[in-house]
C-alpha cells in the first residue's frame, strides 16, 4: 500500500560488498546472508510464523534452483520450508495443495495472493507437510523477463 512503501539503499544498509572480477573490474555484489537479514526485517510477518505451518516447495519447471529461490523468499516471509524437491508434472501456474480445513488460514490466503496460486484442496500423498507449493512455469518466465 502507498503508505507502507520503504526505500532502502543497499550500500548504506551494508548489504553490498566490493568484489573484483577476473578482468580487474570492480563491482558491488550482494552478500546473500546480509541481504536475507535485511529482507527478513522488511518482509517477515509474525502472523504467518505463528501459524507454524510446514511447507514443501516443488519445482515444476526446468529452471534449476528455482525451488530453492522460492524457499528463500518464503523463509524471509516467516514461513517454515521443510523440503525443496522437483514436481512430477509440469504446471504453468503456481499451485497450493492444502487440506480443506486449512483453506482459510492466513498463510494460504497470503500465498495465493502474493504468488497468484491456484488452491487445490487435495493433499499430495508423498508430501509430509501442511502445504505443498508448486512453482509453475509462469513464475519462471516472470523472473527471467526482469
Residue 47 burial by Cβ neighbours in a 10 Å radius (0-12, 13-18, 19+): exposed
Residue 1, pLDDT > 60, answer no
Supply the pLDDT for residue 132.
94
Supply the pLDDT for residue 7.
79
Rounded distance, CA 132 to CA 17, Å? Answer: 35
Between CA 28 and CA 35, with CA 29 as vertex, the angle to 5 degrees is 125
**Which residue, chain included where needed, has cell 482459510?**
104
Which of the given ranges, 11-15, 75-79, 140-144, has the highest pLDDT on average?
75-79
Least confident residue range of 38-42, 57-61, 106-110: 38-42
Residue 98 burial by Cβ neighbours in a 10 Å radius (0-12, 13-18, 19+): buried
For residues 67 and 139, the answer to whether their CB atoms sit within 8 Å is no
- For 137, residues 6+ apart whose C-beta sits below 8 A from its C-beta are 60, 61, 90, 91, 92
Rounded distance, CA 75 to CA 59, Å? Answer: 16
**Which residue, chain included where needed, has cell 490466503?**
109
Supply the pLDDT for residue 2.
59
Supply the pLDDT for residue 39.
79
Torsion sign over Cα 50, 143, 139, 89: negative
Residue 26, pLDDT > 70, answer yes
Q: What is the pTM of this model?
A: 0.78
Amino acid at each position: 500500500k502507498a503508505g507502507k512503501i520503504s526505500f532502502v539503499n543497499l550500500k548504506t544498509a551494508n548489504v553490498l560488498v566490493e568484489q573484483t572480477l577476473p578482468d580487474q573490474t570492480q563491482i558491488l555484489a550482494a552478500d546473500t546472508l546480509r541481504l536475507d537479514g535485511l529482507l527478513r526485517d522488511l518482509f517477515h510477518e509474525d502472523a504467518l510464523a505463528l501459524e507454524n505451518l510446514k511447507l514443501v516447495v516443488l519445482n515444476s519447471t526446468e529452471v534449476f534452483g528455482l525451488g530453492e529461490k522460492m524457499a528463500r523468499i518464503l523463509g524471509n516471509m516467516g514461513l517454515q520450508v521443510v523440503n525443496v524437491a522437483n514436481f512430477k508434472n509440469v504446471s504453468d501456474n503456481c499451485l497450493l495443495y492444502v487440506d480443506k480445513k486449512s483453506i482459510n488460514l492466513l498463510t494460504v490466503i497470503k500465498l495465493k495472493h502474493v504468488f497468484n496460486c491456484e488452491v487445490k484442496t487435495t493433499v499430495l500423498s508423498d508430501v509430509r507437510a501442511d502445504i505443498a507449493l508448486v512453482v509453475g512455469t509462469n513464475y519462471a518466465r516472470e523472473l527471467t523477463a526482469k
